[in-house]
A and B are shown apart, each in its own frame.
Chain A
Amino acid sequence: DTGVSQNPRHKITKRGQNVTFRCDPISEHNRLYWYRQTLGQGPEFLTYFQNEAQLEKSRLLSDRFSAERPKGSFSTLEIQRTEQGDSAMYLCASSLVGTSPYGTDTQYFGPGTRLTVL
């Protein structure tokens, strides 16, 4: 299967610890997105990359959060000094962007990483 994969699927950590999540997009996709979904809500945009460039960051992404996509392939999302409010599902999506304005930016989602901060 060549879909979007995320690791780990579940992470339990204690408040104040650092955590890192990994996302492997569909191989030919040039865009990669991170979203956060809390219980009973729709996903909220965090940040996205086109190739290795981080093009936008949401105000939700405090300075404790950092994301990278060093070679334009996989991406990591790190949360430093975790807080209980960081508990959520972290979703990654990828897409292939062409030159057409409405062409091919259909985002394909991974299964998510569920973070629980105790």
Chain B
Amino acid sequence: AQSVTQLDSHVSVSEGTPVLLRCNYSSSYSPSLFWYVQHPNKGLQLLLKYTSAATLVKGINGFEAEFKKSETSFHLTKPSAHMSDAAEYFCVVIHGSGNTGKLIFGQGTTLQVKP
């Protein structure tokens, strides 16, 4: 069965410093992986997705993630944090193969950005 594990429940960085949010996945198939962000009182927003094309995926707001099959990882990075990046981040895998669509979410990582 597919699953994702977010290795940190809480990450704190200073504004202008790099961000690293870690995610490991488990999948019997070649996975489709996503990162979503959830700001307080707002809906989940897609940051980026990996679907077996390029292993380095660029997303919105300067975020990117690298798919590493050998490490079963899909870590999210950003070179320089901004105050507006403070939010909850979810690593997500699609359940099963093909086009079933059901998303399996990690537990989430809270990103705190200090001035």
A-side residues, CB < 8 A to B, are 3-4, 31, 33, 35, 40-45, 48, 56, 91, 93, 95, 97, 100-103, 105-112
Contacts and interface: CB of A to CB of B under 8 A. Distances in A.
B115 interface: no
B107 A42 contact: yes
Contacts of A48: 101-102
Q: Is the interface of B mostly helix, strand, loop or mixed?
A: loop
B101 A31 contact: yes
Contacts of A111: 41-43
B44 A109 contact: yes
Contacts of B97: 101
Contacts of B100: 56
Interface of B: 32, 34, 36, 41-46, 49, 51-52, 90, 92, 94-95, 97-108
A107 B43 contact: no
A107 B103 contact: yes
Q: Is the interface of A mostly helix, strand, loop or mixed?
A: loop
Contact of B101 (A33, A41, A43, A112): A33
Given A35-B103, A43-B103, 16 more contacts: A3-B43, A33-B102, A40-B108, A41-B108, A42-B107, A43-B105, A45-B102, A45-B103, A48-B101, A101-B99, A102-B99, A105-B94, A105-B99, A106-B34, A106-B46, A107-B46
Contacts of A35: 103
Among B92, B95, B101, the one with the most A-chain Cβ atoms within 10 Å of its Cβ is B101
Contacts of A106: 34, 46, 49
A15 to B, nearest CB: 26
B98 A112 contact: no
Given A33-B101, A42-B90, A106-B49, A112 B107 contact: no
Contacts of B43: 3-4, 91, 109-112
Across the A-B interface, give the 3 residue pairs with the lowest CB-CB distance, nearest first.
A42-B105, A109-B44, A102-B51
A112 to B, nearest CB: 6
